[in-house]
Structure 1
Amino acid sequence: MATLYLVPNVLADGDWQTVLPAQVKSILSHTKYFIVENIRTARRFMKQVNHEINIDECTFYEINKRTTTTDLPHFLKPIADGHDVAIISEAGCPGVADPGAEVVKIAHKQGIKVVPIVGPSSILLALMASGLNGQNFAFKGYLPVKPQERVKELQTLEKTIKNTRQTQLFIETPYRNNQLISDVLKACSPSTLFCVAANITGENEFIQTKSIQDWKKSGVPDLHKQPVIFLLG
């Protein structure tokens, strides 16, 4: 039976074998149809895993802001013809804060076998390393960009933490990291715990959890244009 594989990608530069299972190499080497966010970066990743892959024999379907919902079923057509298809995330795991989830939803409706491959998730790795509540947590995605709306959302998150002890995780566009951190330090209570997890699995990985009060004393490193996930607890 042809299968839809969900293939994870690395989170940071380095040897893929330190964070991905050997199964990834086998799947990428034997699959000819791929659903990706960016063809160029997907091709580069595949060559890093196995430089002997003949990229010219592969077919790529891009899923991004320009992709319409009517395009998605077409991406799965090779499976009906007996060919495996693999979704490759741009970073981390497909379907988790990732547009591949829409394709997976269609695959289930069509009765297609879906196989997730173990890989790094910045959400889980940051939660593991934060020391915050891992029994009850929520990933909020991006917070509002407008300052007043962002402050209001942060205050709402703090109320949730106080009432339920639910850890709150969120991200920001890398070039706005420093502004987000500044807003968190201004808006949140001194005792609230704030974890900053940057470049997870990379050589310059930085993960620290401190109270807002302690962050104000020590300062936060410059994280402009770096991959970061933030947690409040």
Structure 2
Amino acid sequence: MAQLYLIPVTLGESDLQTVIPDNHRNIILSISHFIVENVRTARRFLKKVDKNIDIDSLHFYELNKHTDQNRISSYLQPIKADQAVGIMSEAGCPGVADPGAEVVRIAHQKGIQVVPMVGPSSILLAMMASGMNGQNFAFNGYLPIKKGEKGKQIKLLENRIYSENQSQLFIEAPYRNLQLLDDLLNNCQPHTKLCIACDLTLETEFIKTKSISEWRKSKPAIQKRPAIFILGK
């Protein structure tokens, strides 16, 4: 039986060769059916893999918040005909802070072999570079949008740093980065550490870990840049 491949995508316009192993190219080019978060992004990535690829011969199935959950199982139909299927999110690794987990769950139920492929994960790259506890950490996704609720959540996460020795990771929509940074600076203790990791794997990559009191003296230019935030000690 054919396999379900989890295909990592570059984190922006980084050079493919620097973040994705060469042997992935042949696997990707052997696949005709792709479950994708965004068709346009997926087509652009595949052109990056091989500029001569025949995009119009490929089949794309969208998987995002608008997808009818009852249709997801049908996306795996090509595997019954011994045709491999690949999953791609807009950037990074599918199923990790991005769509894909539901398809993988169904694949396991159907006895389909799932093959995760090596590639860039902003969560792991940021954690590696933070200098914080990588033995015990939690990814929390997006924090609440409402200011009061967000403040409570930040204080809860900060408490876990000290009570459980657990680093806390989260993200924000890039255009709200400075808003989130202000909320962190206003709600966290001065000695708590904050790592900000932006534009990972790109030429403009920025990774710094400082105490909250140090960040209060000088805010970085992170607005509208994809970022991971990590609180630790």
Q: CA deviation at 1:24?
A: 2.3
Match of 1:127 in 2: 127
| Deviations 1:30-56 (CA, angstroms, capped at 9, x unpaired) | 110000011111001100111121111
Shift of residue 184, structure 1, vs aligned partner? 0.2
Is 1:230 the equivalent of 2:218? no
Indicate the SS of the match to 1:71. helix
Q: In structure 2, what is the Cα distance between the partners aligned to 1:147 and 1:23?
A: 46
Q: Which amino acid aligns with 2:60?
A: F
2:189 corresponds to which residue?
189
Letter in 2 for 1:70: N
Poorly superposed stretches of 4+, deviation over 3 Å: none
Report the alpha carbon displacement of residue 189 of structure 1 after superposing the two structures with TM: 0.2
Shift, 1:71, TM fit: 0.9
Supply the AA of the counterpart residue of 2:21. P
1:47 maps to 47
Equivalent-residue separation in structure 2 for 1:14 and 1:139 (angstroms): 24
* In structure 1, C-alpha distance between the alignment counterparts of 2:116 and 2:6, rounded to whole Å: 5
Q: Distance in 2 between matches of 1:82 and 1:14?
A: 33
Counterpart position of 1:94 = 94
Cross-structure match for 1:62: 62
TM-score scaled to structure 1, two decimals?
Answer: 0.98
TM-score, normalised relative to structure 2 = 0.98
The equivalent residue for 1:168 is: 168
The SS at the match of 1:186 is helix
Deviations 1:118-164 (CA, angstroms, capped at 9, x unpaired): 01111110000000000000000000000000000011011111111
CA distance in 2, matches of 1:199, 1:95: 20
SS in 2 for 1:99: coil
- Whether 1:221 and 2:206 are equivalent positions in the alignment is no
- Stretches of structure 2 that go unaligned for 5 or more consecutive residues are none
CA contact (8 A) 2:195 2:209 kept: yes
Counterpart CA distance in 2 for 1:29 and 1:51 is: 11
Q: What percentage of residue pairs aligned between the two structures are identical?
A: 56
Q: Look up the SS of the partner of 2:230 in the other structure.
A: strand
2:38–2:89: 8 Å Cα contact kept in structure 1? no
Aligned to 1:151: 151
3-state SS in 1 of match to 2:222: coil
* Cα distance, 1:190 vs structure 2: 0.1
* Alpha-carbon distance, 1:67 to partner: 0.3
For structure 1, list consecutive stretches of 5 or more residues without a partner in the other structure: none
Task: Give the Å deviation of 1:227.
Answer: 0.3
